[in-house]
Amino acid sequence: MSTDTFQPIASRPPPESQLGWKAWVRRSFFDGWGNTALTVFTLIALLLVVPPLVQWAVIYAIPDADNDACRAAHGIGACWGVVAEKGRLILFGRFPYEEQWRASLASLALVVLLVLSCLRALWRPALVVAWIGVLSLFFVLMRGGVFGLSPVETARWGGLPLTLLLSTVSLVLAFPLSILLALGRQSHLPAIRTLCVLFIELVRGVPLISVLFMASFILPLFMPQGTTIDVLARVLIGMTLFAAAYLAEVIRGGLQAVPKGQLEAAQSLGLSYWQTQRMIVLPQALRLVVPAMVNTFIGVFKDTSLVTIVSLYDLTGAVQLALGDADWRKFFLEGQLFVAALYFVACFAMSRYSVWLEQHLNTGTRRQ
Amino acid sequence: MVQQPDSLSVSSRPPPKQRVWSWRSQAFRGTVYQIVALAVLLAAAAYLLHNTFANMRMRGIQSGFSFILQPAGFGIGESLLPFDSSNSYLYAYVVALSNTLRVALLGIVLATVLGTVIGIGRLSRNALVSTLCGAYVEITRNVPLLLQLFIWYFILTESLPPIEEAWQANGFFFSKNGLQFPLPVAELGAHLSTLGGTALGLVAAWWYARQARLRRESTGAMWPVWWPSVALVVGLTVLGWMAGGMHTEWDIPERTELNVVGGGSVTPEYLTVLLGLTIYTAGYIAEVVRAGIQSVPYGQHEAAASLGLSRAQELRLVLLPQALRVIIPPITSQYLNLTKNSSLAVAVGYPDLVSISSTSLNQTGRAIECIALVMACYLTMSLLTSAFMNFYNARARLKDR
Amino acid sequence: MNPQDPIIEFRCVNKWYGEFHVLRDIDLQVARGERIVICGPSGSGKSTLIRCINRLEEHQQGELVVDGKALSDDVKVVEAVRREVGMVFQQFNLFPHLTVLENLTLSPMWVGRIPKAEAEERAMQQLQRVRIAEQAHKYPLQLSGGQQQRVAIARALCLTPKIMLFDEPTSALDPEMINEVLDVMIELAGQGITMICVTHEMGFARSVADRVIFMDQGQIVEQNAPEAFFNNPQRERTRDFLSKILAH
């Protein structure tokens, strides 16, 4: 046994040159000739672009809806007044002016419902009732004709409520359909499998715009003689079919990722096909593909802008409509940027939510 | 006492033929489900078809594809191929397809270049560059493509000066009316000679690279490959050009009092679609490239470094082969998305497939045929792309047990 | 360089990961042909230490001299050092898109600038040395873990290095494959190459090592010949660690 005791070396802080923000700056920006050149080049580019941008967007901008002031400042300062002036047209499309309170109430209700649905704590059967209730309220408020509300035809629905309606309803309808399609694609029955594959590949192989055209022009031909189908309904059907095909592929990826042992265990327990799918396979499969599903939701939300091409004025279409006004047409960029910002906020929030959801749903799959 | 079997080996027999049929077996149920499903589908299809024909009769719409050989009766705003209203609908579709391909192919090339740069930039150590690239991806992915197209369209048609005051740079004119650029004057012999030189240069470069590789394998000596190859291609192109008579005539656009004449031109509609598609798709390609590069485990870099490979060698021999396997399938589907997204051109007035089909539809009233033609075109492109992806995946798969 | 000089010398080497002091005042000399086993609990800095030798990790303070060359940011020095040092990783890190033979000939051809035929001959020799020559044209993912690790050892040997570093080479293997790799390493040890091995295989340490080093919390706690180390550990911490490792 040795007589001298062991002297453990205490932890010391790293030398000055390694620590702190100065070292980080040096490592990140000035690390070698190439990196330094890149930093300098980027800084120069930013200096050329950012100050004029800030000047235009903020410093010399006109916040009031003053057409003359805006014209005077054209090219020098942004005219955010166009948002104030045309805001209601952009947000609600061609919905009658006096009834727009109904549209905003309906949108608010739907947004609140969506946000609340994101909270895990509220995932209970009562939520389904809430969904049915709010969607019915939405339709009643927008359509009118009852409870003393004046009727507003669906062709006049537009702006934010239309975007929300299209995305929400088409996704809600597409979801069960996509599960059936995904299961059908995995099926052992050749006829079912072929039909599902054909549908999915057909819808995924063509642009959304042609699906919408098909829905707009061909669906009326399918109707029995004498009946017509609502414009909005046609578009909804088209979007639903489109979303269902894409979601089906996402869910199929999840189904394939569920280990085969799960199926074997369920079969050995005596569960039927539908019981197995409902209680064992689908919960696991869906949990696995949450990020991909939310990506698809974001995609559908953005794709609702295409209804502009079939003359339904959602948020994107409404701003084009609003800028038809010759007086305010010069300030199209500010209007478009406003709508772009709305989309950005919504989509960005959804993608952040997807990240959060993925982390929280996986707490059951990792050892604590 | 346990009875032991008499013989030690049992010879192999073919399996018994299935003779047992049960009304309750899975197979029978499966057949019933399929028959029911098909019957329901056929019944629904018959009902819809019946309605369709009734409605078409009522509206006086004729059916059939015979209309495609009749004169179109409309003009097409821009195209590479000549077209006037007396050409058939079929030819109109062909021209529209060429327009779609014209914008999609160039868009794919540009988006790949831009997307790769941004994807690599996102992985940069330089916080400024990685943040800017990240911001680019977030912004372009969270705003709908149609809105981006509208924004670009307005910028290109309202913010630019009118053609009398077009911005000029060395024979390039940029204005509300699009971009005009110098074109070599068409002289077939000279062009063929130059192109022949380029082709010869490419062959020579390939041959040189091959020789360098053989040299390296037999003696270990490493000849430079990049610079000589580029020099060969450029040099032989110049030689070809010289051999063709040193053709230097360009059709340069010139400013007249109210216009700019001469040279080649592209419309603002084309530029809008090209710019919008490139910028939008580059964001997605950047993410694909980034994921591909990050998919290569860090241990591969450690192994390559410990073996003494330089950064460039490591990139070429270890990182890229593995990263490309992960990048190519999703990037192919992004290319397909770009081609399908080019259909939005109808919103800004660029005469692509969907736009022409919509015009034809309005004129002939034959909705089903026109839409079916368009869908057939896109489906063909999709299926070709899927086939390629499957082929590539099968070939490039890392071989394991 | 004098053959009596140590082939690797650490002089008061310190390394930090951000604020975390991972290597503390390391002083270590490794003689030519010496075989060293480094053991210690996880997080003690053993892997970091050997990664500093071939500059896969950079130290911030102190001097580290390998084969007469002082390691620094100088790219040429690092390249020269890496040509003399071979490394075997816990996760094998074979290149999955190349065959076994291509894995081995990659570095000699591209770094050593050796003709292909000669590189392949050398590669087959090394494959025979680790007894896996028949798998030369297979892809890494087609082999078992033990086979892959032997290929990894052969790949490192193709550089004819003076020093071989092993970073827990058997930790990722199924138990029945550990011995085939250890046998190869024991054979290697008997051939005069300098070896530094981070491992938990104490049997290997006993039979092969000239010196066993125990590291804990970034510093060298104790080093000794194997007999003395295992039978008469001097420090409390070493005794603690050995009792946990040698219990079963």
Cβ within 8 Å of residue B24, ≥6 positions away: none
Q: Residue A14: beta bridge partners?
A: none
Contacts of C111 in chain B (CB under 8 A): 307-310, 313
| Helix/strand/coil percentages in chain B, nearest 5 | 70, 5, 25
CB contact under 8 A, A6 and C235: yes
Q: What is the mean pLDDT of chain A?
A: 87
Neighbours of B370 (CB within 10 A): 28
C-chain residue closest to B322, CA distance: C97
CB contact under 8 A, C234 and A2: yes
In tens, the pLDDT along B75-119 reads 888 888 888 888 888 889 999 999 999 999 999 999 999 999 999
Q: Which of A1, A2, A6 sits opposite C221 (nearest CB)?
A: A6
The answer to whether residue B101 sits within a structural domain is yes
Residue A189 pLDDT > 90, yes or no? no
Residues A325, C25: Cα–Cα separation, whole Å? 76
DSSP-derived secondary structure letter, B155? I
Cβ atoms of B273 and B111 within 8 Å: the answer is no
Range of the domain at B319: 89-159+266-396
Is the CB of residue B345 less than 8 Å away from at least one CB of chain A? Answer: no
Q: Which of B297, B308, B325 sits opposite C79 (nearest CB)?
A: B308
Cβ atoms of B393 and B332 within 8 Å: the answer is no
**Average pLDDT estimate for B280-294:** 95
Residues C66, C59: Cα–Cα separation, whole Å? 13
Contacts of B173-177 with CB under 8 Å at 24 or more apart are B173/B253, B173/B255, B173/B260, B173/B263, B175/B260, B176/B268, B177/B260, B177/B265, B177/B267, B177/B268
Class of the CATH domain delimited by A81-95+152-360? mainly alpha
Residue C2 pLDDT > 80, yes or no? no
Residues C105, B319: Cα–Cα separation, whole Å? 17
Among residues B247, B272, B280, the alpha carbon closest in space to that of B111 is found at: B280
Weakest-pLDDT range from A83-92, A167-176, A235-244: A83-92
Structure-token pair, residue A270: 């005596």
Distance from the Cα of A220 to chain C's closest Cα (Å) equals 55
Q: Which of A202, A206, A340 sits opposite B147 (nearest CB)?
A: A340
Residues C59, C48: Cα–Cα separation, whole Å? 9
Residue A66 pLDDT > 50, yes or no? yes
Contacts of B313 in chain C (CB under 8 A): 110-111
Report residue B8's pLDDT band, with 50, 70 and 90 as the boundaries: low
Q: Give the pLDDT score at A11.
A: 85
Number of Cβ pairs < 8 A linking chain A and chain B: 158
Distance from the Cα of B393 to chain C's closest Cα (Å) equals 14
Residues B43 and B125 in one domain: no
Cβ atoms of C101 and C120 within 8 Å: the answer is yes
Report residue A364's pLDDT band, with 50, 70 and 90 as the boundaries: low
Terminal Cα-to-Cα distance of chain A (whole angstroms): 42
The answer to whether residue B66 sits within a structural domain is no
Residue A23 pLDDT > 80, yes or no? no
Residues B294 and B335 in one domain: yes
Q: Give the pLDDT score at C179.
A: 92
Q: Residue C196: beta bridge partners?
A: C36, C165
Q: Give the pLDDT score at B7.
A: 65
DSSP-derived secondary structure letter, B15? P
Which residues of chain C have a Cβ shorter than 8 Å from any chain B Cβ?
54, 56, 79, 82-83, 85-87, 89, 91, 93-97, 106-107, 109-118, 139, 141-142, 155-156, 159
CB contact under 8 A, B378 and A205: yes
Residue B248 pLDDT > 80, yes or no? no
Domain count, chain B: 2
Is the CB of residue B46 less than 8 Å away from at least one CB of chain A? Answer: no
Sheet strands side by side (includes B264-266)? B167-169, B172-175, B178-181, B264-266
Cβ atoms of B336 and A207 within 8 Å: the answer is no
Q: Which of C111, C142, C159 sits opposite B399 (nearest CB)?
A: C142
Residues A153, A312: Cα–Cα separation, whole Å? 12
Q: Which of C106, C115, C142 sits opposite B307 (nearest CB)?
A: C106
Residues B387 and B285 in one domain: yes
Neighbours of A44 (CB within 10 A): 10
User: What's the CATH code of the domain at B355?
Assistant: 1.10.3720.10
Terminal Cα-to-Cα distance of chain C (whole angstroms): 45
Cβ within 8 Å of residue A73, ≥6 positions away: A60, A61, A62, A79
Report residue A73's pLDDT band, with 50, 70 and 90 as the boundaries: confident
Distance from the Cα of C82 to chain B's closest Cα (Å) equals 5
Contacts of C19 in chain A (CB under 8 A): 13-14, 19
Show the CA angle centred on residue B280, arms to residues B276 and B286, nearest 5°: 145
CB contact under 8 A, B218 and C112: no
Residues C175, A9: Cα–Cα separation, whole Å? 37
In tens, the pLDDT along B116-132 reads 999 999 998 888 999 99
What is chain C's length? 248
Residues B244, B237: Cα–Cα separation, whole Å? 11
- Which of C106, C141, C164 is the best substitution to test chain B (most B C-beta atoms within 10 A)? C106
Residue that is last in its domain, among B45, B61, B77 = B61
Residues B303, B143: Cα–Cα separation, whole Å? 42
Number of Cβ pairs < 8 A linking chain A and chain C: 33
Can you tell me which residue has the tokens 């896109």?
B378
Residues C23, C38: Cα–Cα separation, whole Å? 14
Neighbours of B323 (CB within 10 A): 19
Distance from the Cα of B151 to chain A's closest Cα (Å) equals 7
Contacts of A6 in chain C (CB under 8 A): 221, 235-237
Binding-face residues of B in 69-108 toward A, CB within 8 A: none
Can you tell me which residue has the tokens 């719409």?
B61
Sign (positive/negative) of CA torsion B315, B318, B320, B326? negative
Residues A292, A247: Cα–Cα separation, whole Å? 9
B-chain residue closest to C152, CA distance: B303
In tens, the pLDDT along B56-83 reads 888 877 777 788 888 888 888 888 888 8
What CA–CA distances, in Å, run from B274 to A218, B4, B107, C152? 31, 82, 6, 49
> Is C9 in a helix, a strand, or coil?
strand
The answer to whether residue B284 sits within a structural domain is yes
Residues B383 and B280 in one domain: yes
Q: Which chains does chain A touch, 3 or more C-beta pairs < 8 A?
A: B, C
Neighbours of C99 (CB within 10 A): 17
Beta strand spans in C48-135 (E)? 61-66, 69-70, 85-88
Residue A155 pLDDT > 90, yes or no? no
Among residues A298, A177, A196, the alpha carbon closest in space to that of A240 is found at: A177
What CA–CA distances, in Å, run from C19 to B32, B318, C231? 70, 33, 37
Residues C61, C26: Cα–Cα separation, whole Å? 10
Element (H, E) at B206: helix B188-219
In tens, the pLDDT along B331-377 reads 998 999 999 999 999 999 999 999 999 998 888 888 888 899 999 99
In tens, the pLDDT along B289-330 reads 999 999 999 999 999 999 999 999 999 999 999 999 999 989
Residue C1 pLDDT > 80, yes or no? no
Cβ within 8 Å of residue B129, ≥6 positions away: A38, A39, A42, B121
**Average pLDDT estimate for A50-77:** 84
Contacts of B381 in chain A (CB under 8 A): 205
Can you tell me which residue has the tokens 């992806």?
B389
Is the CB of residue A56 less than 8 Å away from at least one CB of chain B? Answer: no
C35-39 and C61-66 strand pairing: unpaired
Q: Give the pLDDT score at C37.
A: 96
Is the CB of residue B312 less than 8 Å away from at least one CB of chain A? Answer: no
In tens, the pLDDT along C52-89 reads 999 999 999 999 999 999 999 888 999 999 999 999 99
A-chain residue closest to C233, CA distance: A1
Residues B233, B211: Cα–Cα separation, whole Å? 16
Q: CA Rg, chain C, in Å?
A: 18
Contacts of B310 in chain C (CB under 8 A): 79, 111
Residue C46 pLDDT > 70, yes or no? yes
Residues B274 and B390 in one domain: yes
Residues B38, A189: Cα–Cα separation, whole Å? 12
Q: Give the pLDDT score at C248.
A: 56
Residues B293 and B340 in one domain: yes
- Which of B56, B371, B380 is the best substitution to test chain A (most A C-beta atoms within 10 A)? B371
Residue that is last in its domain, among B61, B77, B106 = B61
Per DSSP, chain A holds a count of helices (H) and strands (E) of: 16, 0
Which one-letter amino acid corresponds to residue B366? R
Residues B246, B184: Cα–Cα separation, whole Å? 12
- Which of A2, A4, A6 is the best substitution to test chain C (most C C-beta atoms within 10 A)? A6
Contacts of C117 in chain B (CB under 8 A): 217-218
* Percentage, residues of chain A above pLDDT 70: 96
Residues C170, C155: Cα–Cα separation, whole Å? 16
Among residues C59, C66, C73, the alpha carbon closest in space to that of C24 is found at: C59
Residues C126, C148: Cα–Cα separation, whole Å? 14
Sheet strands side by side (includes C61-66)? C20-30, C8-17, C61-66, C69-70
Q: Give the pLDDT score at A368.
A: 46
Q: Which chains does chain C touch, 3 or more C-beta pairs < 8 A?
A: A, B
Among residues A262, A220, A251, the alpha carbon closest in space to that of A238 is found at: A220
Q: Which of C85, C114, C156 sits opposite B220 (nearest CB)?
A: C114
Structure-token pair, residue B82: 């000549």
In tens, the pLDDT along A240-284 reads 999 999 999 999 999 998 888 888 888 888 888 888 898 889 988
Residues B45 and B136 in one domain: no
Residues B387 and B338 in one domain: yes
CB contact under 8 A, A309 and B344: yes
What CA–CA distances, in Å, run from B330 to A254, A277, A293, B118, B289? 18, 29, 17, 17, 9
Cβ atoms of C28 and C45 within 8 Å: the answer is no
- Counting Cα atoms < 13 Å in the Cβ hemisphere of A11 gives 12
- Counting Cα atoms < 13 Å in the Cβ hemisphere of A309 gives 30
Cβ atoms of B361 and B370 within 8 Å: the answer is yes
Q: Which of A8, A15, A19 sits opposite C61 (nearest CB)?
A: A15
Cβ atoms of C39 and C199 within 8 Å: the answer is yes
Q: Domain segments of chain A: what residues? A: 81-95+152-360
The answer to whether residue B246 sits within a structural domain is no
C163-167 and B167-169 strand pairing: unpaired
Among residues A318, A259, A247, the alpha carbon closest in space to that of A289 is found at: A247
Q: What is the pTM of this model?
A: 0.87
Contacts of A15 in chain C (CB under 8 A): 60-61
Largest CA distance in chain C: 55
Contacts of A12 in chain C (CB under 8 A): 14, 21, 24
